[in-house]
Amino acid sequence: MKLFLGGARSGKSSRASEVAVEYGNVIYLATGVVTDAEMAERIERHREDRPDDWRTIEEETELGKVFRDLKDEGFTGAVILDCLGFWASNLMRKKREDTKGQEEEIAEAIRDDLSVAKGAGFEVLIVSNEVGMGVVPASSAGRKFRDTLGRVNQVVADLADEAYLMVAGLEVRLK
């Protein structure tokens, strides 16, 4: 399991894609959700940019089931999970609770789902946004998302075998 962290347009998805090609078979596990016209265009552009021989699975929240299914079918190769931030956001939206423990609950749910993929015979390349280096969000919801994704990034970095920070297209090995 490899984690690629970085800010917007840092090169994290591109780097994960480059690494994935080394594994032969590639599955792109997309977690993005259409929320407006701009997002719909962005998702469509991403679909068109992917190589034709890559399989795409679109799943908002139940990634543990996807990993179990891939394990059961004997998939070998690489799975690009793009991205952890959308997955966490989707889980937050699904729960719609304003509980103090939500941050830890989501981090543990993601840890449990990713643990299914450990030792499964395929590599998981996880793309995530580094949200702790920017401006403090102005809204409560923005701060809650930043805090939750920050916690999730820590949990996933601990679980990952390797972790990289992408800055301006350059890779810095963290672990």
C-beta separation of 53 from 101 below 8 A: no
Phi–psi pair at 165, nearest 5 degrees: -105, 125
**Catalytic residue check, 127:** no
- How many CB atoms are closer than 10 A to CB 164? 20
Helices (H), the chain: 12-21, 37-49, 63-73, 84-95, 102-115, 140-159
Q: Tell me which of 33, 43, 46, 60 is the catalytic residue.
A: 46
- How many CB atoms are closer than 10 A to CB 155? 17
Q: Which residues are catalytic?
A: 46
